Amino acid sequence: MSLYDAYIGLLSLILLTCLASLSMQRLRPLIKTVALQGIAVTMTTLLYQQNVHFLLPFIMIIVKGVLIPMLLLYTLKKVSIKSEGKPIVGFHASVLLGILFLFMVIHYSHDKLSKLLADQSFSFSVAVVTIACGLFLMMARRKALTQVVGYLIMDNGIYLMGALFLKNIPFVLEFAILLDLLVAVMVMGIILHKINETFNSIDTTSLATLKDRWHE
Amino acid sequence: MKHLFFALIMIAFAPLLMSLIARVKAIFAGKVGLPWFFYYHTLLKLLQKTPVISMHTTAIFTTAPLINLAVMLFLFAFLPLANYRPLLSFYGDIFVVIAFLALARIFSLLAAFDTASSFSAMGAARDVFYSMLAEIVLFTIFIIFFRLTNDLSLATFAIEGKIELFARSTFFPLLLVAVSFFMLLLQENARVPIDDPNTHLELTMIDEVKILDYSGPYLAFMQLSLFLKLLFYSCFLANLLFSQSLVTQLCTIALSLDSNSYPLLYAFFKNLIFIALVSAIYIAIAVIESSMARLALKKIPKYSLSALVLAVLAAILMWRNV
Span A92-106, pLDDT tens digits: 899 999 999 998 888
Of B172, B312, B319, the CB nearest to A9: B172
Q: How far apart are CA B309 and CA A21, in angstroms?
A: 13
Cβ of B172 within 8 Å of Cβ of A16? The answer is no
| Chain centroid, CA B195 distance in Å | 15
State the pLDDT at residue B308: 93
End-to-end CA distance of chain B: 39
Q: How far apart are CA A191 and CA A145, in angstroms?
A: 10
Residue B321 distance to chain A (closest CA, Å): 8
Residue B60 distance to chain A (closest CA, Å): 38
C-beta of residue A69 within 8 angstroms of C-beta of residue A75: no
Q: Identify all chain B residues contacting A91, using CB atoms and an 8 Å cutoff.
A: 302
Residue A204 distance to chain B (closest CA, Å): 26
Q: Could you state, in order of their start, the residue ranges of all structural domains in chain B?
A: 2-318
Q: Which residues, in sequence order, are bridge partners of residue B81? A: B84
Find the closest chain A residue to B319 by CA distance. Answer: A106
In this structure, how many other beta carbons lie within 10 angstroms of the beta carbon of residue A46?
A: 16
Find the closest chain B residue to A21 by CA distance. Answer: B306
Backbone CA torsion sign across A45, A50, A54, A56: negative
State the pLDDT at residue B321: 56
HSE (side-chain half, CA atoms, 13 Å) at B243: 13
CA dihedral angle for residue A179, residue A46, residue A21, residue B281, rounded to 10 degrees: -150
Best CA proximity match to A51, nearest among A158, A168, A148, A165: A168
Q: Could you state, in order of their start, the residue ranges of all structural domains in chain A?
A: 3-82+91-204
Mean pLDDT for each consecutive 10-residue tract of chain B (322 residues)? 87 93 92 91 94 89 94 92 85 92 92 87 89 92 88 86 74 87 92 82 80 90 93 92 78 71 80 91 93 87 92 83 50
State the pLDDT at residue B169: 66
Find the closest chain A residue to B320 by CA distance. Answer: A122
Q: How far apart are CA A56 and CA A60, in angstroms?
A: 6
A165 vs A181, which has greater pLDDT? A181
What integer is the mean pLDDT of A151-174? 81
Helix (H, G, I), strand (E, B) or coil at B56: coil
Report ipTM for this prediction. Answer: 0.79
What integer is the mean pLDDT of A6-15? 88
Q: How far apart are CA B223 and CA B216, in angstroms?
A: 11
Provide CB contacts within 8 A for B136, sequence distance 6+.
Answer: B304, B308
State the pLDDT at residue A169: 67
Q: How far apart are CA B305 and CA B243, in angstroms?
A: 29
Span A32-84, pLDDT tens digits: 999 999 999 888 877 776 666 777 788 888 988 899 999 889 888 888 777 88
Q: Which stretches of chain B are assigned E, i.e. beta strand?
A: none
What integer is the mean pLDDT of A99-116? 82
What integer is the mean pLDDT of A6-12? 85
B317 touches chain A (CB under 8 A): yes
C-beta of residue B114 within 8 angstroms of C-beta of residue B57: yes
DSSP string computed for A83-97: B--S-SS-HHHHHHH
Query: A14 falls in which pLDDT band (50, 70, 90)?
Result: very high
Q: Identify all chain A residues contacting B305, using CB atoms and an 8 Å cutoff.
A: 23, 92, 95-96
Cβ of A122 within 8 Å of Cβ of B320? The answer is yes
Alpha-carbon separation of residue A153 from A35, A56, A86, A138 (angstroms): 10, 19, 21, 10
**Residue B299 DSSP one-character state:** G
Q: How far apart are CA B182 and CA B278, in angstroms?
A: 12
Provide CB contacts within 8 A for B299, sequence distance 6+.
Answer: none
Helix (H, G, I), strand (E, B) or coil at A37: helix
Q: How far apart are CA A146 and CA A201, in angstroms?
A: 13
Q: How far apart are CA A97 and CA A88, in angstroms?
A: 14
Average pLDDT, chain A: 83
Q: Which residues of A touch B (CB under 8 A)?
A: 1, 5, 8-9, 12, 15-16, 19, 23, 91-92, 95-96, 99, 102-103, 106, 110, 121-122, 125
Cβ of A99 within 8 Å of Cβ of B170? The answer is no
